[in-house]
């Protein structure tokens, strides 16, 4: 079994027909769009939650962690894999970068999966078991620390095993060449279960229970329950948003895992003339999951839309003030130069009052006027 979340797949070194230039250009455009939206959109999400105190909530702390994992994915997973595996068919980034990039790719995937699980468990406790003690901001910090610890620890075998492998008549390919096939199979299976199938089971269970508690239980709409109805509506919006995130996660990663599982049972599928395009599309779909979340948040969350609107207005005001300040500075400089010219003309030396007289009285008067008008330092003269 291959590690579908890193660089190592049988596609890397099986002799397959190359992708046409037209399709390469098309996929370069698609991957470029993913990178731009993933980095830009998730950075905006982090900024909005950081900048506005009303958005400092437990669910949003998890959303920030999810955004960070998507940014890591967009930086380390998409460009390196696309260039090495799909454009050049070899690893051009050196021996040192091979294990580092492959390791960070798996770390990013685990961060996303574990964060989604933590979010679902938090909402499950709050909604299904409302009388249990809720998680605090302090405990949330410990949960996030645990997520990062697990995400950095579990893929350590990838860091240790990844290296450049040289096949006949080829340049180096970044792979995980395990000597023990049983160990490789077990590790790959654990990776797939922990980052996809296991979290998917937990997510389906939690959100099914949450949906039943919110939508299936009758809530009376009298005046006494108005506040309760408002809270239920807010919870519904949040759960819909997070359920959409989970659905996109499941659908985006499913095809790549299917190809990986089928390829493990029958490696000859990689010799198919259509396999390069199929693999590229499945990989692109999995990587595209990193750019959907910011769009989902802004589309489905009124708070995110309001925060984005305020941020745009703030940027517009700052830009306008900066332009006004620059304009005022230019006007002040022009007016100052104009006044200085007038003063020089009015105080033009004459025979009756030469500026460089014996005592320098007229020159002192001229410099005094300039210093008072423009805050210029007057010269200090002494009689000689």
Q: What is the pLDDT of residues 318-340, one digit of tens each?
A: 777 766 665 555 555 555 555 55
Residue located via tokens 């669910």:
59
Where does the pLDDT of residue 111 fall: very low under 50, low under 70, confident under 90, or very high at 90 and above? very high
The pLDDT tens digits for 274-295 are: 888 888 899 899 999 989 988 8
Classify 381 in phi/psi space as left (phi over 0), alpha (psi -120 to 50) or beta: beta
The mean per-residue pLDDT over the stretch 242-253 comes to: 89
The mean per-residue pLDDT over the stretch 50-68 comes to: 88
Nearby residues of 209 by Cβ (< 8 Å), 6 or more positions away: 124, 128
Tokens in use for 297? 């948040």
Q: Report d(CA 68, CA 265) in Å as an integer.
A: 35
What is the residue extent of each domain of the chain? 21-306
User: What's CA 93's distance to the chain center, in Å?
Assistant: 23
Where does the pLDDT of residue 118 fall: very low under 50, low under 70, confident under 90, or very high at 90 and above? very high
State residue 294's pLDDT score.
Answer: 86
Q: Report d(CA 157, CA 266) in Å as an integer.
A: 25
Where does the pLDDT of residue 230 fall: very low under 50, low under 70, confident under 90, or very high at 90 and above? low
Answer for the pair 112, 12: CB distance below 8 angstroms, yes or no. Answer: no
pTM of the model as a whole: 0.74
Crossing angle for the helix pair 97-128 and 137-153, to the nearest 10 degrees: 140
Residue 155 has pLDDT above 80, yes or no: yes
The mean per-residue pLDDT over the stretch 164-193 comes to: 83
DSSP structure string for 292-348: HHHHHHHHH-HHHHHHHHHHHHHHHHHHHHHHHHHHHHHHHHHHHHHHHHHHHHHT-
Q: Report d(CA 144, CA 118) in Å as an integer.
A: 9
Where does the pLDDT of residue 220 fall: very low under 50, low under 70, confident under 90, or very high at 90 and above? very low
Domain 21-306: give its CATH code: 1.20.1070.10
Q: Calculate what percentage of the chain has a pLDDT beyond 90.
A: 21
User: What's CA 343's distance to the chain center, in Å?
Assistant: 59
State residue 384's pLDDT score.
Answer: 39
Quick check: helix, strand or coil at residue 227? helix
Residue 271 has pLDDT above 90, yes or no: no
Q: Report d(CA 347, CA 365) in Å as an integer.
A: 9
């Amino acid at each position: 079994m291959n590690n579908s979340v890193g660089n190592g797949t049988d596609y890397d070194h099986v002799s397959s027909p190359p992708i046409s230039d037209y399709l390469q250009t098309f996929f370069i455009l698609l991957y470029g769009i993913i990178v731009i939206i993933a980095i830009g959109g998730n950075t905006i999400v982090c900024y909005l939650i950081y900048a506005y105190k009303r958005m400092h909530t437990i669910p949003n702390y998890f959303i920030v962690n999810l955004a960070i994992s998507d940014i890591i994915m967009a930086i380390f997973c998409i460009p390196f894999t696309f260039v090495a595996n799909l454009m050049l068919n070899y690893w051009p980034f050196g021996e040192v970068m091979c294990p580092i990039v492959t390791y960070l790719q798996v770390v990013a995937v685990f961060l996303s999966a574990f964060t989604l699980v933590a979010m679902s468990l938090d909402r499950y406790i709050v909604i299904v078991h409302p009388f249990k003690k809720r998680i605090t901001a302090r405990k949330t910090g410990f949960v996030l620390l645990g997520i990062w610890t697990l995400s950095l620890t579990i893929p350590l075998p990838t860091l240790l095993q990844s290296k450049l492998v040289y096949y006949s008549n080829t340049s180096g390919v970044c792979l995980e060449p395990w000597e023990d096939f049983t160990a490789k199979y077990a590790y790959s299976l654990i990776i797939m279960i922990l980052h996809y199938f296991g979290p998917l089971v937990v997510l389906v269970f939690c959100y099914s229970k949450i949906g039943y508690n919110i939508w299936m239980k009758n809530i009376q709409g009298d005046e006494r329950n108005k506040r309760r109805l408002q809270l239920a509506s807010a919870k519904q919006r949040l759960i819909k948003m997070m359920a959409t995130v989970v659905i996109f996660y499941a659908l985006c990663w499913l095809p790549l895992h299917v190809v990986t599982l089928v390829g493990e049972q029958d490696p000859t599928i990689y010799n198919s003339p259509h396999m390069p395009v199929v693999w590229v599309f499945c990989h692109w779909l999995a990587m595209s999951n990193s750019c959907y979340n910011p769009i989902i948040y802004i589309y489905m969350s009124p708070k995110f839309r309001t925060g984005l609107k305020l941020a745009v207005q703030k940027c517009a005001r700052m830009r306008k003030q900066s332009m006004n300040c620059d304009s005022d500075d230019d006007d002040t400089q022009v007016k100052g130069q104009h006044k200085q010219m007038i003063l020089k003309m009015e105080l033009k030396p004459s025979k009756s009052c030469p500026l460089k007289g014996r005592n320098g009285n007229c020159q002192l008067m001229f410099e005094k006027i300039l210093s008072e008008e423009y805050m210029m330092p007057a010269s200090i003269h002494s009689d000689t």
